[in-house]
Structure formats: structure tokens, C-alpha cells
Chains A and B, each alone.
Chain A
Amino acid sequence: MEYIAHDASTFAPPAEVGEMELYHPKTFIGKYIWSQDAKVIAIQYAITAIGIGLVALVMSWLMRLQLGFPNSFYFIDPSNYLQFVTLHGMIMVIYLLTALFLGGFGNYLIPLMVGARDMVFPYVNMVSYWVYLFAVLLLIASFFVPGGPTGAGWTLYPPQAILQGTPGATWGIILMLVSLAFFIIGFTMGGLNYVVTVLQARTRGMTLMRMPLTIWGIFMATVLALLAFPALFVSAIMMLFDLLLGTSFFMPAIVSMGQQGEHTGGNPLLFQHLFWFFGHPEVYIVALPAFGIVSDLLSVHARKNIFGYRMMVWAIVAIGGLSFVVWAHHMYVSGMNPYFGFFFATTTLIIAIPTALKVYNWVLTLWHGNIHLTVPMLFAIGFIFAFIHGGLTGLFLGNVTVSVPLSDTMFVVAHFHMVMAVAPIMVVFGAIYHWYPKITGRMLDDGMGKFHFWATFLGTYAIYLPMHYLGFLGVPRRYFDVGGTDFIPASAQSLNVGITIAALIVGAVQVVFLYNLVWSYFKGKPSGGNPWNATTLEWQTPDTPPQHGNFGPTLPVVYRWAYDYSVPGAAQDFIPQNVPAQDVARRSNKT
């Protein structure tokens, strides 16, 4: 009450906001193809990422078909299988999730949520997308070269990645590495934009601590990506050198098929260190935007301020910092010094503290909230389940003694799918259902959305819960066909059949989602400007969908943090960020 009514005379007048010069395209091509508008670039990113993601989805089907019904399909041979494993992982982690969260949601939401007209360097932003698209096309091209795409596993460990005998060891791996290098160059252009826009282009009154957590998550993830991708970049270049120029960065002296190879003295472990110095922060590059977005979804749809906002910001920053000192927990079986393992196990367990803190805060946000079980809320709650689940198995695997026997088993596959596939994708879906009305002006169909949620949520559990048991039994990952063993009971195969059927169903259900996206674009219920009664700036634009420049003639001025929901004394259960105290309608005392 006092909060709403604090002294109005201290508010800054609205007209002093610095303006940026916008590039105004005249033609269709300028507006929608070579566009410099962050919102269009966001949609270009999203469509490309989802498109290539569908390819990876089909690959997971093909893998599961082989695992569920071994050797029943003539189009899956051991080489194909390894190629599916490799590209499924690579596409999902980098070309889908990284690109979608940062290039897609980052581009759409950063300028709108911080009250900017566009990214600070719109031209660079445009180039970023086209370089990304080029990287995706290179990746697709690798399907059509002799030998097909690489089958080295998504971690691309040398020496096997570039030795004859591994599928795609001639052309496929070259295209993969070049594609990664281009992806990183493109991302760096975009990433500079995201960071500078958040730090330098916020509107009047939008201090860092008034930013929604979505922006904090995307911002910190971008910082991580900018600092982590160089490791992948140099390792890709070094491997290309080993392959094309005959250097020996990673390639040791090898006798292969009775022949002494031309390499001498390279260090394969060096690649693992470089790869995971990128690879572990990558987990948080995907997770932090999800953390941020889910915080906002929970708050909006529970009509309650996020519990412990400041703690949430600090947790995001702490997780980001810690993510750079845990990488070798992916390498416990690489023969490293046990003290090394002890150090990395400790840091890994420490990172559980800020992460757990976030989980508690999400749950406490729901506590006594006015929970609306909308589709975005369902997905947000689904995320909490999947994330707790995957996080807990992460504690198992973070400990050396537990990790070693579970290494390279299906338990690991189940763990990381729970934590960085199911959990973030739940957020992606929740976020699309949440922001689709702003992007198109129409609501997504609720019935289809609920069906999509329940089928995906229950379906992914049907896939990954049993997979943990397979891991305990010792079923190895990445095997085309395990064959007969003494330690795996025959019943494991029936679990595999069940998992495959669930995977096929979950994949097919996504068609409903895609249909919903298209159908609602034309036939969906008109949403209005702020269908969820949310406080953040993107919902306060004069037009829906927002026009080029986002906010009409004057930029909004921010007078409060992003979480004024159910404020005591206010007439409505939300107060938008750009409403000054004197304009807040107050509840009459009679009620």
C-alpha cells in the first residue's frame, strides 16, 4: 500500500529517453528476409532451429527403432545408427536449443522486455542469423556427401572421429567442424548484441534489478556462451588441421589395421579438456534461459511475485561462474589424477546449492499462489518435475565412485535427457504458448495445448524413467546392438520396446503442436495486447504484434520491478512496469 503510493513527485518525466536511429526497410525483402528487426530475426532463428530440430527428432525415432526392434529395418545399419546418435545430439544441443533460446527468445524478448526499440547493432544481428543459417546448411550438406555425416558421437572425440572406420571420417567430419566454426562466429555476433543491449539500451527506470528473470537468464547464458564457445572453436580448428594438414594436436601415433599412421605425439586428452570446457557451460547456456523464462511463467500464471527475486539473480550468476570449473566431471574415466576427480566432484556438488535454491524458490512461488492451470503453467510445472529428476541423478553422476560404474550406460543418457532435453524443451513449449499471442495476436488453441502437454510430459517420463533401470543393469549407450551378454537379462529388451513405443508417440504428438501453431495463426482466438495480464513491458506495446520500433512514438518509462502481482490495495491483480504510482487504480475500501 505504501509501495503503490510512494511519493509521486520524484518520478522522472517520461520524454527524456534516448532514441536510437532505426533502419526503415521499404521492400518486402527488406522487411522479412534481409531484416534488421530483432523480432523478425528471432522468428527466422526459431523457424530454422525448429526445422533442423525436427530432423533430429526423426533421427531419435530411427535410433529407438533399432534399439526396440533390433535388426528389423533394412535402412538402419551400424554406421547409420552412429550417425543418428551423433547428429541427434549435436543438432539438439547446439543447433536447436542454443539457437532457439538465445537467437530466438533472446532476439524477440530482450529489446521488448528492457524497453529498447531494437538491438543496438541491428545489422550485425542480421548477419548473425545468416551465418547461423549457413552453418545449418553445411550440416545438412553433410548428409549428401560421400560417406555421409560423421558418426563420431556428439563429443567428436579424436582419434576415432577422424580415423577411417568411423562413419563420415572423410567428408562428414570436415563439414561438421566447419559448420561448428561458422555457428560460433555467427553466435558471437549475436551474443555481443544481446550483452550490449541488456547493459546499454535499457529504457528509463529499467535498472538491472528491475529486469525480468527471463532477461537475466538469457543475459548470463550469453556471457557463458561468449566465453565458452572459443574452446569449441579452437578444438574444431585444431582437429581440422590434424585431418587436413597432417598436424598432430590431438592425434597420437597409431597403428591402425597394421599400418603405422602418419601422426605422432598428439594428445587426445587435450581435446577432451577443450571440448568439455565448452561442453559443461553449454549445459547452462541451455539451462539458464530456461530458468529465467520459467520463473516468469510461474509468477505470471500464479499471480504472485517470484519468491526471492534477488536470490534468483544471484543464483543465476553463481551457476554461471561455477559452470566453468566443473568440466572434468565428464572425464572421470579418462584416467585422470584422483585428486583432480575429487576437486571436480566437489565443485559439481557445490553447483547443486544455487540450483536447489532456485527449485525451492519456484515451488515457494507456487505456494499460496492463485494458480491458473493454463498451458504455459502446465509446462512450467512439468519443467520443475523434469529438472528435479534430472538434477538428482546429476548428483549421483557427479560423484566419482558412483559415476565410474555408470559411465557410458543408459543411466547417463536418461540423466542428461531429463535435465537438458526434457526440462528445457518443456520451457520452450511453455514459452511459445505464453508469448505466441504477442508474436501473432492470436491465442494458441487450449485443448490441443493441453493434449500436447500431457502426452509430452507423460510420454517423456515413459521414455526416460525406465532408461535409468537399463543403465543400472549395465546396458551401454551408443551400441547398435548389445547382443547376448551374461549380465543383461532378456527382460531388458521388453523395456526397450516400451521406450521405443513411447518415443514414437511423443514424437508424433509434436505434429499436433505444429498444427496448432499453423491453425491458430489463421483461426486462433484474437488475444488482445495482454491476454495473461502480465506486468512486463512486452505486453504493454501499443500494437500486437509489436511494430518495428516496438513501442510507438515514445519509449515506456519503468516505475517498478517486474513482479507486482496481487499487490495489496491495488484494484487489479497486476501492475504493469510502466504504470507510475499515482496511476495505480486502488481498490475501494468497501470491498
Chain B
Amino acid sequence: MNIFQEMMVKPWAADQGKVDDLYAGAASTGLAKKLALRVFLAVVAVLFMLLVTAYGGRMVYEDWRPAPQVNLLWANTLMLILSSVALQWAQYSVRRGQMDSMRVGLLAAGAFTVVFLFGQLLAWRQMGAMVYFQVTNPAIAFFYLITGLHALHLLGGLVAWGRTVTRVWGDFEVAKVRQSVELCAVYWHFLLLVWLVLFGLLFTGNNLDLLLKLCGIR
């Protein structure tokens, strides 16, 4: 029953009382973690949505100067996709009880993520070395701000990833590890999606028309 249907009932009515008494109550902590991650992702989604809106809102002014292109970002994007694929592989393996390939998947995901982060750092330096670089250009400032915030979220993910990795050696509770891997996978896929939106909309040239169309303005 979804939450809005649930809100249609009359809790004071006798018949409803019989139904409500059957509600089993407290769910497992596993479900709670899953829900907590989803709520957190909603918060992160709002954060990046606001940044995209702010970026688009600034783009419409005539004095907008697009940031120079950094081609390295394409390679970085590939790394992030690979890390997501690796985590998906780890999740696939743990569900089938193949612990060795799960470990490989996990470690590969971490490695690709670290490479992505180094790549982003490199992109920062490349941008900083360009003749077009000007700290007062909002497009460039937005680039640093948005990629920085995205990287911070990945770093936070790496903390959870690290805690999972330390748990997959020796004796371990499969159900717990499985959940950790699943949660990591969801988080990585989400951050990949966010990155694809940010990269596609903001950092691959002047996509103002597309942005405005998406917002229904043009």
C-alpha cells in the first residue's frame, strides 16, 4: 500500500481498526539502511538539481562566457562508468555466492574510482593552466564547485566502500556484506547518473538551448 493510499483510511473507524491491528511493525535494520540511503540520495539529488538550475539561470545572461573544454573529462567519465560496472559485477557475484569475483569487483570499483578522482584533479589543473582561465568567470567557478562537490560525495562513498572491503576477508556474515555491496552499488550508480547529467548538460559545450527546453522555457 503506498503512503497516499494509507493516508486515505479512517483510523477511528471500527473496521479499519481490524485492518490496522494487523500491521506487523518494526522492519529489519536492513530495510532501514536501504531507506536511509534513498532519502540521502534524494537530498543529494536536490543539491545537484539546485546547482544545475543556478548554472542555467546564470547562462541566460548575455555576458555568459562558456568554460573551456577539458577533453580529459571524457576519459574520467569512462572510469566512473567502469567503477559502476565493477560494483554491479560485485553485486551480481555476491548474490550468486561467488566470493572471489565479488572481491575482484569491489577492488576494481575502488581502483577505478580513485583513478576517476585523480583524473578530476588533473582536469582541474589543466583548466587552471589554460589561457582562458579566469577565476571570476562564473562558468569556471561553477565547474570547480560542481566537480568538487561531486568528488566529495564519491570520497564519502569510498569510506563506506573501505568499510565493506575490510569485511570481506576471512569469516564474514554473507548477508551483511551482501547488503553493503548492494548499498554501495546503488550509491555509485546514482553518482554516475548525477555525473552524466552534470557532464552532459554543463561541461560539454554550450547547452543552454537544451537546458531551457528541459525547463520548458524555450
Measured between beta carbons, the chain A residues less than 8 angstroms from B26 are: 17-20, 116, 200-204, 555
Within 8 A of A (CB), among B115-168: 135-138, 141-142, 145, 149
Measured between beta carbons, the chain B residues less than 8 angstroms from A116 are: 26
CA of A304 to CA of B141, assembled, Å: 58
Whether the pair B50, A7 counts as a contact (CB closer than 8 A) is no
Measured between beta carbons, the chain A residues less than 8 angstroms from B50 are: 230-231, 234, 274, 277
B47 on the A face (CB < 8 A): yes
Question: Which of A116, A200, A203, A555 has the most chain B CB atoms closer than 10 A to its own CB?
Answer: A200
Whether the pair B23, A206 counts as a contact (CB closer than 8 A) is yes
CA of A266 to CA of B58, assembled, Å: 8
Whether the pair B141, A241 counts as a contact (CB closer than 8 A) is yes
Measured CB to CB, the closest approach of chain B to A6, in angstroms, equals: 5
Whether the pair B135, A246 counts as a contact (CB closer than 8 A) is yes
Residue from the list A2, A203, A238, A309 in contact with B14, Cβ < 8 A: A2
A196 on the B face (CB < 8 A): yes
Whether the pair B31, A200 counts as a contact (CB closer than 8 A) is yes
A364 on the B face (CB < 8 A): no
Measured between beta carbons, the chain B residues less than 8 angstroms from A204 are: 23-26
Whether the pair B27, A205 counts as a contact (CB closer than 8 A) is no
Question: How many residues of B are in contact with the other chain, CB < 8 A?
Answer: 47
Question: How many residues of A are in contact with the other chain, CB < 8 A?
Answer: 70
Whether the pair B7, A317 counts as a contact (CB closer than 8 A) is yes
Question: Which of B9, B36, B142 has the most chain A CB atoms closer than 10 A to its own CB?
Answer: B36
Measured CB to CB, the closest approach of chain A to B201, in angstroms, equals: 17
A310 on the B face (CB < 8 A): yes
Measured between beta carbons, the chain A residues less than 8 angstroms from B10 are: 209, 310
When each residue 262-287 of chain A gets 1 if its CB lies under 8 Å from chain B and 0 otherwise, what string results? 11111100100110010000000000
A237 on the B face (CB < 8 A): yes
CA of A226 to CA of B12, assembled, Å: 31
B17 on the A face (CB < 8 A): yes
Measured between beta carbons, the chain B residues less than 8 angstroms from A199 are: 35
Measured CB to CB, the closest approach of chain A to B99, in angstroms, equals: 26
A142 on the B face (CB < 8 A): no
CA of A117 to CA of B169, assembled, Å: 33
Whether the pair A209, B61 counts as a contact (CB closer than 8 A) is no
Measured between beta carbons, the chain A residues less than 8 angstroms from B24 are: 12, 16, 204
Measured CB to CB, the closest approach of chain A to B30, in angstroms, equals: 10
Residue from the list A200, A226, A317 in contact with B35, Cβ < 8 A: A200
When each residue 308-321 of chain A gets 1 if its CB lies under 8 Å from chain B and 0 otherwise, what string results? 01100110010000
Residue on B with the closest CB to A227?
B46
A539 on the B face (CB < 8 A): no
When each residue 95-121 of chain A gets 1 if its CB lies under 8 Å from chain B and 0 otherwise, what string results? 000000000000000000001100011
CA of A92 to CA of B66, assembled, Å: 41
Q: Given A249-B141, A274-B50, does the pair A263, B136 have CB atoms closer than 8 Å?
A: yes
Q: Given A230-B43, A561-B11, does the pair A274, B54 have CB atoms closer than 8 Å?
A: yes
CA of A245 to CA of B46, assembled, Å: 25
B215 on the A face (CB < 8 A): no
B6 on the A face (CB < 8 A): yes
B42 on the A face (CB < 8 A): yes
Whether the pair A248, B6 counts as a contact (CB closer than 8 A) is no
A-B contact count (CB 8 A): 168
CA of A17 to CA of B135, assembled, Å: 59
Q: Given A199-B35, A226-B39, does the pair A559, B61 have CB atoms closer than 8 Å?
A: no
A410 on the B face (CB < 8 A): no
Whether the pair A314, B136 counts as a contact (CB closer than 8 A) is no
A195 on the B face (CB < 8 A): yes
B3 on the A face (CB < 8 A): yes
Whether the pair B136, A265 counts as a contact (CB closer than 8 A) is yes
B20 on the A face (CB < 8 A): yes
CA of A115 to CA of B23, assembled, Å: 13
CA of A309 to CA of B12, assembled, Å: 9
CA of A487 to CA of B212, assembled, Å: 47
Measured between beta carbons, the chain A residues less than 8 angstroms from B13 are: 3
CA of A169 to CA of B104, assembled, Å: 52
Measured between beta carbons, the chain A residues less than 8 angstroms from B39 are: 192, 195-196, 226
Measured between beta carbons, the chain A residues less than 8 angstroms from B43 are: 188, 226-227, 230
Q: Given A195-B39, A226-B42, does the pair A205, B32 have CB atoms closer than 8 Å?
A: no
Whether the pair B23, A196 counts as a contact (CB closer than 8 A) is no
Whether the pair A207, B20 counts as a contact (CB closer than 8 A) is yes
Whether the pair B6, A6 counts as a contact (CB closer than 8 A) is no
Measured between beta carbons, the chain A residues less than 8 angstroms from B58 are: 267, 270
Measured between beta carbons, the chain A residues less than 8 angstroms from B57 are: 267, 270, 273
Whether the pair A265, B11 counts as a contact (CB closer than 8 A) is no
Question: Which of A121, A234, A238 has the most chain B CB atoms closer than 10 A to its own CB?
Answer: A234
Measured CB to CB, the closest approach of chain A to B1, in angstroms, equals: 9
Measured between beta carbons, the chain A residues less than 8 angstroms from B136 are: 246-248, 262-265
Residue from the list B12, B36, B46 in contact with A196, Cβ < 8 A: B36
Residue from the list B7, B23, B28 in contact with A314, Cβ < 8 A: B7
Whether the pair A247, B135 counts as a contact (CB closer than 8 A) is yes
Whether the pair A205, B21 counts as a contact (CB closer than 8 A) is yes
Whether the pair B27, A200 counts as a contact (CB closer than 8 A) is yes
Within 8 A of A (CB), among B15-67: 17-18, 20-29, 31-32, 35-36, 39-40, 42-43, 46-47, 50-51, 54, 57-58, 61, 63
A454 on the B face (CB < 8 A): no
Whether the pair A209, B6 counts as a contact (CB closer than 8 A) is yes
Within 8 A of B (CB), among A168-211: 188, 192-193, 195-196, 199-210
Residue on A with the closest CB to B57?
A270
Residues of B at under 8 Å CB distance from A? 3, 6-14, 17-18, 20-29, 31-32, 35-36, 39-40, 42-43, 46-47, 50-51, 54, 57-58, 61, 63, 135-138, 141-142, 145, 149
Could you list some 18 contacts between A and B, CB below 8 A? A6-B14, A7-B18, A10-B21, A12-B24, A18-B27, A120-B29, A188-B40, A200-B26, A205-B21, A207-B11, A208-B3, A226-B43, A227-B42, A227-B43, A267-B57, A310-B7, A310-B9, A310-B10
Residues of A at under 8 Å CB distance from B? 2-3, 6-7, 10-12, 16-20, 115-116, 120-121, 188, 192-193, 195-196, 199-210, 226-227, 230-231, 233-234, 237-238, 241, 245-249, 262-267, 270, 273-274, 277, 305, 309-310, 313-314, 317, 555, 557-561, 563
> A121-B32, A199-B35, A230-B43 known; 17 other A-B pairs, CB under 8 Å?
A12-B21, A196-B39, A201-B27, A202-B23, A203-B26, A205-B20, A207-B9, A226-B43, A230-B47, A234-B54, A241-B145, A245-B141, A247-B138, A248-B136, A267-B138, A560-B17, A561-B11
Which 5 pairs across A and B sit closest by C-beta, in order of nearness? Answer: A204-B25, A247-B141, A18-B26, A230-B47, A561-B11
